[in-house]
Amino acid sequence: MIKNKEQCLRKTTLSLALAGTLFTGAAQAQLAGHNVILVHGFMMDDLSNPPANFQDVQQAGEDNWRDYWLNRSEARIDWASDGRVEGKIAQQAYQQLRQISQQGLCNNYCILVTHSTGDLVTRHILENQARWLQADGLQPLKILTVMDLAGAGGGTELADLAVSVAYNDSWYNWPVKAAVKAFTGIDPQPDKLGVVNDLQTNVARNLAVNPNAIPRLRFVGGGSSYGGITKPFIDGTDDGVVPTHSACGATSAQGINSCSNNLSLAGKVSGQNGPSGLYYNHYPILMSEGANHGDVINNQTGNTAVPVVNNTVLGGLLVDFASRSYNKRAWWQLWGSGDRYLEVPNSSQTSLSNLLYTTLNN
């Protein structure tokens, strides 16, 4: 709850100032006084055209974050999607972890920002980075918290389909094949799927699953990608790529419609098919029914955000989004006050990334 009039004023002013907020210069490459490290998601081009060298991997990583987060970060952990999490990807990540440690970028704690499969890659990093670095005589990274945007740590049914199609390329599977090609960019072959193998729901949910003390803050979309052709093949609601059960951090891969049992992705206060449980230290912070898989890291506006876990401190980071509730009647409701909704005011006027950065940078 808002503690006093001054806090209420600050939150109201902040929500009005979100749209168009721009930051430049080294001082703004931090979030709440901590360096930001970026971990990108699945790059489909790596499957059809594997990177020739690590410079190509780095260039793709830089381009991926260019719209918003690139100038708000101090470092990235880039990786090639034609590899596996516990193999080539871990090796590439480790070399960059060494550099981050040697440069002392996390000496005052840092914040990791991930997108999509970067959630799964980061989970493997968090479980192993201290052991890896200490074995080399280096200081483990001090990580305050992780912000997972459209996190795929629980896998996606599209990856299950991709592996299935790779081993059963029958003509009658054409609707499935179209969805898989939209997701992977290729006609799947068993030895050409790279990290898609790790994104199978059962595989992802058995990778680096030990409880971790670092909070995972989840930001979830429910929009459409690839013209909507992938949606019929994903359980529950989704953002066109990642199912809600994965993005929320649910302990089960069963299809759900929201990160909350009493709040829809659109903010309607009502009974929902929410998660039966969440992974340890996983906190759904915001949902947005209209945001698709890519919207969460770019400058796309027009999507209303709905607060879930709010007005709290997680891992030393103040989570304090403005919120308002209101009633709305459908066109066919001729009487009564209508349904109750909850939203972050004015959130549709800015991008989800800008909303996160501006609010949490306090």
pLDDT of 13 > 60? The answer is no
The pairs formed by 173-179 with CB atoms below 8 angstroms and a separation of 24 or more are 175/229, 175/232, 176/233, 178/229, 179/226, 179/229, 179/230, 179/232, 179/233
pLDDT of 12 > 60? The answer is no
Helix 352-360 × helix 5-17 angle, to 10°: 150
Task: Name which of 25-34, 130-139, 216-225, 262-271 the model is least confident about.
Answer: 25-34
Q: 207 to each of 18, 128, 159, 203, 321, how far by Cα in Å?
A: 37, 12, 15, 7, 32
> What is the pLDDT of the chain when averaged over all its residues?
91
Most confident of 108-112, 172-176, 334-338: 108-112
Residues of the chain above pLDDT 70, percent: 92
Which residues lie below 8 Å from residue 306, measured CB to CB, with a gap of 6+? 263, 264, 265, 266, 267, 286, 287, 288, 289, 342, 343, 344
Q: Are 163 and 193 in contact (CB under 8 A)?
A: yes
d(CA 191, CA 33): 44
Task: Name which of 7-21, 60-74, 84-98, 257-271 the model is least confident about.
Answer: 7-21
d(CA 276, CA 236): 14
226: left (phi over 0), alpha (psi -120 to 50) or beta: left
H/E element, 50: none
Residues of the chain above pLDDT 90, percent: 86
- Segment 286-312 shows an average pLDDT of 97
Residues 122-181 pLDDT 10s: 999 999 999 999 999 999 999 999 999 999 999 999 999 999 999 987 766 888 999 999
Going from N- to C-terminal start, the domains of the chain cover 5-360
d(CA 146, CA 149): 10
In degrees, to the nearest 5, what angle opens at C-alpha 263 toward C-alphas 260 and 268?
160
Q: If pLDDT is split at 50, 70 and 90, which confidence band does 190 have?
A: very high
pLDDT of 73 > 90? The answer is yes
